[in-house]
Amino acid sequence: MPRTRSSNKHWQPFSGKHGQVAARWATAPLVALALLGAAARPAQAQARVAVLPLDVTGQLAPRALQVLDQRLSLGVAAAGMTVVGGSQAKIALPSSGGCGPACRQGLASQLSARFVAGGRITVRYDDYVFELWLADGTTGRTISELQRRCDVCGISAAAETLDLAASELVARQRVDRRTPATVSITTQPPAVELVVDGRPVGRSPQTLALTPGTHRLEARTAGYLSERRTITSTPNERLSLALTLLPAVAASAAGADLEPTARAPWRRSAGWSAVVAGLAAVAGGVALLIVDGNAIDCRVGRTLNEVCRSERRTAAVGWTLLGSGVAAAATGSLLLTLP
């Protein structure tokens, strides 16, 4: 028997196909779960849902669209939610299709809503397709979706299908939020002790069931450095995690390689000695090259036409000293700079 509501006193019996009756009865467990949960909670604990006007593809009379919008809100409310939308919103609400994640966040904040709901109706003759979604008001992301059909239906049967679908949408979200995430953990080396939120949970490899939220995972074993990760899981999510632990000895060796090596004392003194000697040799070589070719052994007070008997020949020695000095200075610099 179809449901009736005091807000619609002239509700007519369902007139669709027999297959639709079976489909609606199939949703009964989820809807019943939501209704029982709503009855067990006080009214002030009910989450607020901002319900947006439905988008329409196809031909649908304005009065029929108004009825379907109302039934969407009634279905959400029947699943234990507090509906804020329509005339209750006191603001102009955007259509479902024109409100993206950022719009949903802003709308939820403005209406103090935990969720935002909406959807689309596709109408072709007497066939209706309902595509409903429920979004988290904090992130704006869709967390539950549902599609239902009503073939060869009048507006009354279509409205009932939408009502039940909206209740199932919310009920499904509540069931999913209680479903833990599963995390499959493998490690190298194997048989590593796993600790989640400070509590040992056994050795790898294994699959853990984690409640939705943020968890701290640590993998540890003797002779290896511990590996720590932060896991953020969502309801019914499946994750795979592979951890590789670094051996403690290898890590110590790698750290030691990065430390500077102390220089031997003799290298410091030998380096500076070579630099000083090299610079002195370079200076001497330059001086000898400068005086090379100067006349010597001339008489004091010689006449203008007098020729000296010899000249200085210091080029060979000068070049030798210059080369040796450069080599010595370079060697000393290497002793001072290289590890």
Q: Distance between CA 120 and CA 55 in Å, rounded?
A: 5
Residue 1 contacts residue 135 (beta carbons within 8 Å): no
Q: Distance between CA 219 and CA 226 in Å, rounded?
A: 6
DSSP, collapsed to helix, strand or coil, labels residue 130 as strand
Q: Distance between CA 139 and CA 286 in Å, rounded?
A: 79
Q: Residue 5 has what pLDDT?
A: 38
* Cα 59 → chain centroid: 43
DSSP, collapsed to helix, strand or coil, labels residue 182 as strand
- Average pLDDT over the chain, rounded to an integer: 76
Q: Distance between CA 135 and CA 175 in Å, rounded?
A: 15
Q: Distance between CA 101 and CA 105 in Å, rounded?
A: 6
pLDDT exceeds 70 at position 339: no
Q: Residue 124 has what pLDDT?
A: 92
pLDDT exceeds 70 at position 26: no
Q: Residue 254 has what pLDDT?
A: 55
What phi and psi, each to the nearest 5 degrees, are found at residue 172?
A: -65, -40
pLDDT exceeds 50 at position 44: no
Question: In the chain, what percentage of residues exceed pLDDT 90?
Answer: 31
- Tabulate helix, strand, coil % of the chain (nearest 5): 40, 25, 30
Between vectors from CA 176 to CA 112 and to CA 44, what angle results, nearest 5°? 35
Q: If you ran DSSP here, which 8-state letter would residue 247 be given?
A: B
Q: Distance between CA 162 and CA 14 in Å, rounded?
A: 13
Q: Distance between CA 137 and CA 61 in Å, rounded?
A: 31
pLDDT exceeds 90 at position 239: no
Q: Residue 55 has what pLDDT?
A: 93
Q: Residue 205 has what pLDDT?
A: 92
Length of the chain measured in residues: 339
- The tokens describing 190, both together, are 């194997």
pLDDT in tens, 123-148: 998 999 999 999 888 888 888 888 99
Sign of CA dihedral 138, 144, 149, 153: negative
Neighbour tally for 332: CB within 10 Å: 21
Establish how many alpha carbons lie within 13 A of residue 19's alpha carbon, considering only the half-sphere containing its beta carbon: 6
Mean pLDDT score, 228-249: 83
* Cα 210 → chain centroid: 19
pLDDT exceeds 50 at position 65: yes
Q: Distance between CA 203 and CA 222 in Å, rounded?
A: 13
pLDDT in tens, 250-270: 555 555 554 445 556 777 788
Q: Distance between CA 38 and CA 77 in Å, rounded?
A: 10
Q: Residue 6 has what pLDDT?
A: 36
DSSP, collapsed to helix, strand or coil, labels residue 195 as strand
Fill in the amino acid letter for 329.
Answer: A
| Helical (H) or strand (E) element with 246 | none
First-to-last alpha carbon distance for the chain, in angstroms, is 90
| Residue 270 Cα distances to 28, 263, 277, 283, 318, angstroms | 93, 12, 10, 20, 25
Sign of CA dihedral 24, 27, 28, 34: negative
- Cβ neighbors of 158 (< 8 A, separation 6 or more) are 68, 128, 150
DSSP, collapsed to helix, strand or coil, labels residue 152 as coil
